[in-house]
Amino acid sequence: KPDRSTGGLNNINNDTTDSKDLRAKLVLLGDSGVGKSCIVLRFVRGQFDPTSKVTVGASFLSQTLALEDSTIVKFEIWDTAGQERYAALAPLYYRGAAAAVVVYDITSPESFKKAQYWVKELQKHGNPDIIMVLVGNKADLHENRHVSSQDAQEYAEKNNMVFIETSAKTADNINQVFEEIAKRLPRPTPS
C-alpha cells in the first residue's frame, strides 16, 4: 500500500491502483533550451543535472504524484513534442493530452514568443478541455530577467492558463506545476 501520509509534495513510484486514482497524459512544449528536460528530471528524479538528457526519442516518462486527498495521479510525461524534428508529429502528441505545460525562459523574450505560438497551436488542435500551464523557467536567473512576471501573468489569464515561474535548478515551484494540473483534472463521477 502506498504511504499516503506525507501530503502532497512527495512523488512516489508505485503501481497500485485505486478507483480514485487518475491517469493523465501531459505534454511539454517550448523552445529548445528553456529547460523542459531539466523540469521533468527534477520532478521525476529530484535532481538537476544539465548533462543528463531525459528525452529518449518519441518516448515518455511516467511519474506518480500523491495528493493531499490521497488521490494518486499517474502522469505520462511527453517532452519531445516541441522538438523541431518532431514538429510534424506535434498534433499526435497533444491529441489525448489532459494537460500541456508550455515553457519559456524568463531571460529570453524569443522563448516567450515561441510559447505563445504553442498556445495558439494547442487552441487550434488540442482537446478543448486541455489544462494549460504557462511556465516561466530559470527564475533563479532573475538578474537577467527579460520577461516580466506581470506580462506573462496577463497573457496567461487572457488565455485561461495557470501561470507559474519555476527553477529546475533550485527546484522552486517544480512540484507545484504538477500539483496545479492534478487539482484541475476531472474527477470520476461517483456511481
Q: Is 29 helix (H, G, I), strand (E, B) or coil?
A: strand
Which residue among 63, 108, 167, 175 contacts ligand GDP (CB under 6 A)?
167
Q: Does 137 bind ligand GDP (CB under 6 A)?
A: yes
Q: Does 136 bind ligand GDP (CB under 6 A)?
A: no
Q: Does 34 bind ligand GDP (CB under 6 A)?
A: yes
Residue 13: closest CA among 27, 2, 26, 24 = 2
The continuous run of DSSP H or E covering 104 comes out as strand 99-105
Q: Does 173 bind ligand GDP (CB under 6 A)?
A: no
Q: Does 37 bind ligand GDP (CB under 6 A)?
A: yes
Which residue among 14, 16, 17, 32 contacts ligand GDP (CB under 6 A)?
32
Residue 98: closest CA among 4, 181, 13, 17 = 181
Part of the chain binding ligand GDP (CB under 6 A), chosen from 13-21, 28-36, 89-97, 147-155: 28-36
Q: Does 12 bind ligand GDP (CB under 6 A)?
A: no
The residue among 23 and 145 lying less far from ligand GDP, judged by its C-beta, is: 145
Which residue among 27, 38, 131, 181 contacts ligand GDP (CB under 6 A)?
38
Instruction: Write b or e for each residue in 112-130: b if 16 or more Cβ atoms lie within 10 A of its Cβ, otherwise e.
Output: bebbeebbebbeeebeeeb
- 24: how many CB neighbours lie within 10 A of its CB? 20
Q: At what angle do helices 36-45 and 174-184 cross, to 10 degrees?
A: 80
Give contact residues for ligand GDP (rule: CB under 6 A).
Answer: 30, 32-38, 50, 137-138, 140-141, 167-169
